[in-house]
A and B are shown apart, each in its own frame.
Chain A
Amino acid sequence: MIAPLALIGLVSLPIIVAFYMLRLRRRDVPVGSTFLWQQLVRDVEANAPWQRLRFSWLLLVQLLIAALAVGAAVRPFVTVESDLAANVVLIIDTSASMGATDAGGPRIAAARAAARRVIGQLPEGGHVTVVAADDSAHVLVSETDDRAAALAAIDGVQATQLPGDLTDAFALASALAARDADSTVVVVSDANADRLPAVGIGAPVVVERVGDTDANQAVAALSLLRRSGGAQLDLFVAVANPSTTDVTRRLEIYADGVLVDARDLTIQAGQRAEALISSVPAAALSVEARLAGEDALAVDDAAFALVPREGAVRTLLVGPGNTYLENALALLPRLELYAVGAAGYADALATAADEGTPYGLIVFDRVVDDPPAGVPALYVGPSGDGPFGEVGALIDGPALARTDPNDAVLRFVDLSTVHIGRARTVTLAEGMRPVVETTREQPLVAVGRVEGRTIGLLSFALSDSDLPLQVAFPLLMSNLTDTLLPTVDGILPPSVALGESIVVDLDPAISRVSLGAAPDGAAEGEAVELDVVGGHLTLPAARVTGVRELRVVSDDAALNGTLLGRTAANLFDPGESKVAPGDPLRIEDMGRVGPANGAASLPARAEWWWPIALAAFALLLLEWFLFHRPTRRAVARLVGRA
């Protein structure tokens, strides 16, 4: 018994019996005469306070209920061997796929139930750390032996819309396991394609897998391009069907909240269907693609895109010529590329100024010169000092340090297979920040704002690396130009992934901004106000899909409320959209096999109060029925009334 004090409740048994021995306090009902009643009632007894205890089913049922209630309250248990260690790290996956609805109900509810079972199996004296894991880890309760607190924390767990990443959670679990050799990591998850750390941990990992459906489709890509001089918008939509069944889904396109197109897409199992839609009005500000109907996961059924501004940016490539660079820049739809040698740079600027068509971006390839005032510039393999900083000696074969995957410049860029033959050391000017560094902290890629213009830097010549041969190159060029150029809707990138933080540079005159849901692509509720520190602003990661906008907060009425930019947040995560439960071994293999140091199983308390409580409840219903069963007269009255 866990709560023997509850045995005090047994006092209720004699009290119930005493109530039955006490004469009933009957309600006085005046009647004209008891003449007829006296002939009917034979068992009229003397008016004594006590009467002989007689058998009564009601008494029996009530005694049983009281006894069972006490039995449940003392929380009886049997001792069983627990598979869990004394120190349990319980990781509950709260990534977007956990928001799926399975045949048995919400997947996250099944996860909570599984987590509760784990708490019930904790060995005696064991303690548990409960961690919710989406794209990072959140500790809900830490190393507690208070099961009620752990259960309360589990009850509060909700699925997010964020992509799953168990890296942080496993790092935390690894640290906890390192402190206590007798540890078990339990992961409650659908085990589908969550990102995992590269190295395992020193404790056994057990997966409680939840989920049973794979019936989900997702808007996998959404892109808007201007054609015909900006007069027409082309919308590219891809819909993925990661399920094992061919489906037909209706795709609806909304421009600024108004339905402009709808079509049925038949998508084969495991395939994508794509559609190019030209019916989006050129004047629209934002577009939403939505899959009508229902599937297992709702969050990936809608995606948002902002309409790019009209016109391309005239870009001047200055240098001896590099086919890879020219092709990469020419492919970017936002750029209208012109190329000139170093000697013709000044003339090109003069001609453009004369014609009234100035360049919006200058790319210096192995050339260093000053761009026009206020014009962004990208320096590739500079040989001398420039606005970005001072150039030093050559270094051979620099090794790339670990990069921040959340940096907007490195979005979708995988540099793990890039090799650089040599690069120059650069001392960055004030306002520049390194994006990619060598292991010796020498900047290889940097961006920043210097003297009122944005500057980008690749400190190595493209010909000195295999970067131009990698898929990462055009993506890096695209991200760099997005960073350097004013974006489609102000200073924010047109699209961000959920969970991705954005760092933006702002006019130093702006000290406070407000970030909230855009009226035509609402997803989040209340706007939040943020402080701008030193002209830099780190926007918190978007946690739900939709369009957000950034506005100035200022005492100056003319400036207050000025729109700084808008950005669309989408899931676009094939791993999360594939809601089918994955192979738990993939996660379990991250842990050590077998109990620590061959330790024997620990005793655990398996409580069995709930069947007793259930029986008490059933008896309570029976008692209610016995006492309040509808009389024949009441039934007749009801029938008569009907």
Chain B
Amino acid sequence: MTQAPAVEAQPGGRTDLLFDEAFLRRLEQLELASRRLTAGRMKGERRSTRRGQSVEFADYRNYTAGDDLRQLDWNVYARLERLFIKLFVEEEDVTVHVLVDASRSMDFGEPNKLFFARRAAGALAYLGLAHLDRVSVAFLGDGRADMLRPIRSKARVLEIFRFLASDRDERLTGLAAAARDYASRLRGRGPLLLISDLMDPGYLDALRDLAGTRCQLSVLHVLAPEEVDPHVPADARLVDSETTQPVEVTGDDDLVERYRTRLTEWQAEIGAFVARRGGSYVTVPSDLDLADLLFDVLRRRRVVE
């Protein structure tokens, strides 16, 4: 087995993106759940919709000319005098898609949402590589998807980490356009994990396009603690980090209560939308420990197994 690398990178020059060896070893015990069986191109560790050569029996079918005679079940022929070909489950690789929203709104909060998203994406990508899956990582921003070509070898995980740690200069999300861009260029199916704050008017279009790829969509909805429980001064001008458009508010109990109610409704809307498309929706505060996210939250939501 390839030794798990310790990885260090500079995400936006903030804090080291650092996974220690013990954490990576724990990651290897997890596996991204793929409730839909997919057809890949290379042998991997996942069951494929294709029948192939493995030790796991799948089914029988009638012999037709040209079939490999080694696959004939001679025992059945002895009993029934009919030729049947034994089919085995062929284990194939899948492509794990990890999409990170890199808009300016993600570069906010304490802890920073984008930093959290980079680390979560790195961990999930490593998890895929550890199980011999192909991993595709992309940043969504400014209406396009900045993709790293798919990587299959765990030895190349550093490329993913360096990509995730690279400086980003995206300003607006343009989430719907970026998601459509990624969906159009998508190669290979498998789990698709979107890590975003979804603070974009086109978030539903984006989710619809990503779910339409027939990948197993999982949405990690990242929110900073101050977005979950905001503290607004009495007379404040809230300045949007993406558009710099201000919103003047008078911070009082009523406003905060209405905000919290709206946030809860919004999360419920997204959850329902994703569930209808067979996906998973997980709200993740950016102050959540990464280990808790992977070994507890995502496991309970069956995103990983």
Contacts and interface: CB of A to CB of B under 8 A. Distances in A.
Interface string B96-134: 000000001111110001000000000000000000000
B199 A28 contact: no
Interface stretch (A33-41, A156-164, A582-590): A33-41
Nearest to B258: A40
Contacts of B266: 36
Contact of B247 (A24, A27, A41): A41
Given A37-B249, A38-B247, A40-B259, A29 B237 contact: yes
Nearest to A43: B248
Given A36-B259, A36-B262, A633-B256, A31 B241 contact: yes
Which of B113, B201, B240, B253 has the most C-beta atoms of chain A within 10 angstroms of its own C-beta? B240
Given A30-B241, A32-B241, A633 B113 contact: no
B199 A32 contact: yes
Given A37-B247, A37-B249, A38-B247, A32 B237 contact: no
B5 to A, nearest CB: 32
A357 interface: no
Which of B226, B238, B246, B256 has the most C-beta atoms of chain A within 10 angstroms of its own C-beta? B238
Contacts of B227: 31-32
B224 A29 contact: no
A619 B233 CA distance: 25
Nearest to B107: A32
B255 interface: yes
Contacts of A633: 253, 256
A228 interface: no
Contacts of A25: 235
Contacts of B259: 36-37, 40
B246 A28 contact: yes
Contact of A44 (B105, B108, B248): B248
B238 A34 contact: yes
Which of B241, B246, B256 has the most C-beta atoms of chain A within 10 angstroms of its own C-beta? B246
A41 B197 CA distance: 21
A632 interface: yes
Contact of B233 (A27, A37, A44): A27
A34 B245 contact: yes
A32 B221 CA distance: 14
B172 to A, nearest CB: 10
Interface in A527-580: none
A39 B245 CA distance: 14
Interface string B244-278: 01111100110110110011001000000000000
B255 A40 contact: yes
B236 interface: yes
B72 to A, nearest CB: 63
A179 interface: no
Interface in A7-49: 24-41, 44-45
Given A29-B238, A32-B224, 5 more contacts: A26-B237, A27-B235, A31-B238, A32-B105, A44-B247
- By Cβ-Cβ distance, the 9 closest A-B pairs, closest first, are A32-B108, A33-B199, A33-B105, A34-B240, A26-B237, A32-B105, A35-B199, A34-B247, A26-B235
9 contacts: A25-B235, A28-B246, A31-B227, A31-B238, A32-B106, A32-B199, A32-B224, A34-B238, A44-B247
